[in-house]
């Protein structure tokens, strides 16, 4: 049982009548259409129902499990009950939040590399060594990008012919 569900089931168990076999009895009748009930609940929440309600709920949980287990396919498949092939083909996906995190991580790695390069080239920061506080991310990014430009030589240079206009002679 997933930890998020335990308090809900415990509450249903605590409120069940003595002798009840099931904690949740409201939807046990064969004539109950759970999709219809879920659609009503979604609309009462002010949302618009989406296609394949239960399949998408299952897919969302499988994606969450992939994140919670750092991609442990075996654990996820044992909880959900599908094969690793199905899980990887249909459920292991990159979300927008994953892309934002990857981009942020990549930019931080580039800034750290530029900072290391700047430490090797003290002239890039005016010949001064400077310790950058970890909380000053904007200043750090600016200094490291400027240092990286200086270290690679991609800064504006004086043209090889000089700054005077060309003369006919």
What residue segments make up the domains of the chain, in order of their start?
Answer: 96-152
CA distances from 74 to 83, 92, 131 (A): 9, 13, 45
> What is the Cα 131 distance to its own chain's centre?
30
pLDDT in tens, 145-169: 555 555 555 444 545 555 555 666 5
What does the pLDDT read at residue 155?
46
- How many C-beta neighbours within 10 Å does residue 19 have? 5
Q: What is the pTM of this model?
A: 0.49
The upper half-sphere exposure of residue 150, i.e. CA atoms within 13 Å in the direction of its Cβ, equals: 19
- Whole-angstrom distance, CA of residue 127 vs CA of residue 69: 47
Mean pLDDT by 10 residues, the chain (169 residues): 88 87 79 89 94 88 88 89 87 76 74 69 50 52 54 50 57
């Amino acid at each position: 049982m997933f930890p998020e569900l335990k308090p809900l089931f415990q509450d249903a168990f605590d409120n069940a009548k003595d002798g009840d076999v099931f904690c949740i009895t409201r939807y046990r009748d064969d004539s109950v259409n759970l999709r219809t009930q879920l659609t009503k609940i979604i609309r009462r929440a002010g949302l618009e129902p989406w296609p394949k309600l239960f399949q998408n709920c299952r897919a969302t949980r499988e994606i969450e499990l992939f994140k919670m287990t750092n991609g442990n396919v075996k654990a996820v498949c044992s909880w959900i009950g599908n094969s690793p092939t199905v899980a990887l083909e249909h459920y292991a996906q990159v979300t927008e939040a994953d892309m934002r995190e990857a981009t942020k991580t990549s930019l931080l790695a580039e800034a750290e590399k530029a900072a290391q390069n700047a430490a090797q080239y003290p002239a890039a920061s005016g010949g001064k060594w400077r310790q950058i506080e970890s909380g000053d991310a904007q200043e750090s990014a600016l200094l490291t990008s400027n240092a990286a430009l200086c270290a690679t030589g991609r800064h504006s240079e004086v043209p090889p012919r000089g700054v005077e206009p060309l003369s006919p002679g």
